[in-house]
Amino acid sequence: MAEKSVDRSSEYVRIEGVTRRFGDFVAVDNVSLSIYKGEIFCLLGGSGCGKTTLLRMLAGFESPTSGRILIDGQDMADTPPYERPVNMMFQSYALFPHMSVERNVAFGLEQEGLSKGEIARRVGEMLDIVKLGEFARRKPHQLSGGQRQRVALARALVKRPKLLLLDEPLGALDRKLREHTQFELINLQEQLGVTFIVVTHDQEEAMTLASRIGVMNKGQIVQVGTPVDIYEFPNSRFVADFIGSVNMFEGQLAEDEPGYVRIRCPDLEAPVFISHGISAAPDARVSVAIRPEKISMTRESPAGTENRAVGTVKEIAYMGDMSVYLVRLDSGRMVRVTIPNVERHDERIVWEERVHLSWDPSSPVVLSQ
């Protein structure tokens, strides 16, 4: 999840107030976005949030109802897909079933009218990069899922696009292969210096791949930021809830000072103290979001009178590297807590035990929308 350095001055794609309607349905709603040269930008959202429509508009398969798309400073309105400096990797891979791997990869170069020798050289080079040299003469149906994915990637990259669009690039792979391929994808991107725009519904995929993430909901971009920004500083209830799991408490601002705030939540007996100021109207209804891994759980009562709660363990899910506990507070509210399994022979907390929950004043995020 290392933050990559991206040169903010070199904007490559600019989306200006783009809206796309299908009849009465607004698939993409007034989206504005800048994507910089050399970054991996992930559009993340649930199904039907408009992320794929946005990608298809960049590729030229759909046109915006209103707004402009500029790639490398040029308005793309009248440029058909076959003239855009953009290539796309399809979710289904869309390999031509009647052509061998070699001919699939060569197809794009043939359209450019290059010489036979030049095409053969570049295809060979590309197949070596994705480690498919020995499969050059196979047909797509003679390949495994992971190999097909690499052919699709090679076919898109062999044209040396400045911008590659990837629609759910790892969606069809099984878990082990995904993780491996994610890192391959990042290496390839760095090696070739291509700008990637990735569409995905899988937050884990977005977190590992992206230098920046744009979270989409109902056709709108709700937050843009680095994976760390999005996870640690979500700007809305939707984002906090969509990325990872979170405990959300409704509450009311009790004290609002520039250096700290105190919030009273009906579900929590003790007030929540937060060690930084927020911008919200006094007496506003707010939500306090606390990530499950930021809550500590003890048998003994912690010090202090704030940022704490008492409850009974109701469910335990042992996941190997960590355990998930569902704790019912005395108010009846369920709270999710994750504890890493650091020691092998721990005296673990068991079902129906009384536990104390507490958290650091810097952990909660206050959300007002």
Partner 1 sequence: MKSRGWFRNSALALGMAFLYVPILTMIFFSFNNSKLVTVWDSANSPTLKWYGLLFENQQILGAAWVSIKVAALTASGAVVLGTLAGLVLVRFGAFRGRAMLSAMTTAPLVMPEVITGLSLLLLFVALEQLTGWPAGRGVLTITIAHITFAMAYVTVIIQSRLAGFDDSLEEAALDLGARPARVFFSITLPLILPAIISGWLLAFTLSWDDVVIAQFVAGPSSSTLPMVIFSKVRLGVSPDINALATIMVLIVALGVVVSTLFMRRQERQRLREEQMARAGEP
Taking the complex as a whole, how short is the minimal distance between the CB of residue 2 and partner 1, in angstroms?
27
Taking the complex as a whole, how short is the minimal distance between the CB of residue 74 and partner 1, in angstroms?
17
Taking the complex as a whole, how short is the minimal distance between the CB of residue 88 and partner 1, in angstroms?
5
Output DSSP code: residue 228.
Answer: H
Residues 191-206: b if buried by 16+ CB within 10 A, e if exposed: eeebbbbbbbbebebb
Instruction: Work out the angle at residue 343's Cα, subtended by the Cα atoms of residues 359 and 232, and round it to the nearest 5 degrees.
Output: 35
Taking the complex as a whole, how short is the minimal distance between the CB of residue 58 and partner 1, in angstroms?
11
Q: How many residues does the chain have?
A: 369
**Alpha helix ranges (H) inside 249-360:** none
Taking the complex as a whole, how short is the minimal distance between the CB of residue 105 and partner 1, in angstroms?
10
What is the number of other CB atoms lying within 10 angstroms of the CB of residue 293?
16
Closest CA to 31 of 23, 40, 41: 41
Residues that bind partner 1 (CB under 8 A): 59-61, 80-83, 86-88, 90-92, 94, 96-98, 107-108, 111-112, 138-139, 141-147, 155-156, 159, 177
- For partner 1, the closer CB: 122 or 291: 122
SS3 1: coil
- For partner 1, the closer CB: 80 or 320: 80
Rounded distance between C-alpha atoms, residue 88 and residue 86, angstroms: 7
Q: Is the dihedral of CA 109, 114, 116, 117 positive or negative?
A: negative
- For partner 1, the closer CB: 82 or 343: 82
- For partner 1, the closer CB: 197 or 272: 197
- For partner 1, the closer CB: 87 or 363: 87
Rounded distance between C-alpha atoms, residue 311 and residue 70, angstroms: 55
